[in-house]
Amino acid sequence: MRTKKVSPVDNSQLFTVPDGWKEPAFTKEDNPKGLLEESSFATLFPKYREAYLKECWPLVQKALGDSHIKATLDLIEGSITVCTTKKTFDPYAVVRARDFIKLLARSVPFEQAVRILEDDMACDITKIGTLVRTRERFVKRRQRLIGPKGSTLKALELLTNCYIMVQGNTVSALGPFNGLKEVRKVVLDTMKNIHPIYNIKTLMIKRELSKDPELRLQSWEKFLPNFRHKNLTKRKEPKKKTTKKEYTPFPPQQPESQIDKELATGEFFLRESVKKRKKMEEIKVKQAEALTKRQEERNRAFIPPKEKPVMKKTNKAPSEAKIDIEAIKAKVRKAKTKKLGAPSVNPVPQTTPAYDKKKKNKG
């Protein structure tokens, strides 16, 4: 017997899935005899979904009819039931039908919910109603997950390739398995008061790193940001701090009574007349002190206030500045020559006008 030599296979090829590979679809040839037992699932839906389910029910029956699944809508009880038939050959089709009716009951539109019947699709419904104690805080964190005008939810859908529907106390997600895992983590972190923008930033970095074939088999921890939760709110301290006294097993000493005080001073043994006289003297002393205080307060209004001494202002000429006498004399001379008409060095000869000569000739 000759044995064929088997060529060694690289270990990296065993763990990686080739690009573009898809699992073959499950056909009737794989299970020609069908199922032995009938399986069924039922779910309830709220009253406000009744009108929508009535409109799209023919489309629901048509979509489930391709997999030979029977669906019934009970408007009296408010429930949807799906069950297998004799023609059903795919055993997992009824599980997909169960998820399909669950999504319809959680306000997911038919156009998105019907995608669950595909092979590479899955769904996840996260209950968030019991994760936060107070209702106001729950509403704020749920709105934080949606974001302004749904921007945060849209960014999460683009990064995870999932459809996300936030309705009431649940979050429904529909998409591939890897995306559903990330969506669930973001939703739970948001309910734990961790802003979704941190997880979105991490997903964006992972998306860029996955495009590089060299980094696929390496650890990404050094590239991912490490966000730490900081509690910035400080506890308010009281204005008056009380310090605890040291513990002693003995009780505190009792305060002295009035009789004890009188015994210590000797007043207890005095007569009643002497006690009354002493009390009257004390009262008179107190009255005299009060009278003097009152008289002092009245006399304060008649005491003139102290006047401040008037200080005369003296304008002293600055001694430091020196006067230039020669410059002043030169200015005075120049002013006299201009104003008083002093004779100039080269006098100009004066000429008599023509009309003056005529007057002289006539005279």
Query: What CATH code is carried by the domain that includes residue 69?
Result: 3.30.1370.10
pLDDT at residue number 174: 95
High-pLDDT (> 70) share of the chain, %: 83
pLDDT over 60 at 121, yes or no: yes
* 100 or 215, which is more confident: 100
Q: Tell me which of 298, 323, 353 is where a domain ends.
A: 298
Q: Is 306 a domain residue?
A: no
Q: Is 38 a domain residue?
A: yes
Question: Domain count of the chain?
Answer: 2
pLDDT at residue number 332: 84
Q: What is the pLDDT averaged over residues 104-116?
A: 93
Average pLDDT of the chain? 83
pLDDT over 70 at 212, yes or no: yes
Q: Is 273 a domain residue?
A: yes
- Residue 268's domain spans which residues? 258-298
Place of tokens 């004890």: 260
Q: Is 313 a domain residue?
A: no
Q: What is the pLDDT averaged over residues 269-276?
A: 83
pLDDT of 216-267, one tens digit each? 778 888 888 887 766 656 667 777 888 888 888 888 888 889 888 888 888 8
Q: How far is CA 241 from CA 96, 237, 238, 244, 248, in A?
A: 65, 8, 6, 10, 21
Q: Is 65 a domain residue?
A: yes
Q: Is 41 a domain residue?
A: yes
Q: Tell me which of 51, 85, 119 is where a domain ends.
A: 119
Which of 25-34, 193-202, 301-310: highest mean pLDDT?
193-202
Helices 151-160 and 196-210, interaxial angle, to 10°? 30
pTM above 0.75, yes or no: no
Q: Is 215 a domain residue?
A: no
Q: Tell me which of 119, 148, 178 is where a domain ends.
A: 119
Q: Is 51 a domain residue?
A: yes
Q: What is the pLDDT averaged over residues 204-217?
A: 84
CA distance 129 to 363: 137
pLDDT over 80 at 337, yes or no: no
Q: Under a CB-based contact definition with an 8 Å cutoff, are residues 100 and 64 in contact? A: yes
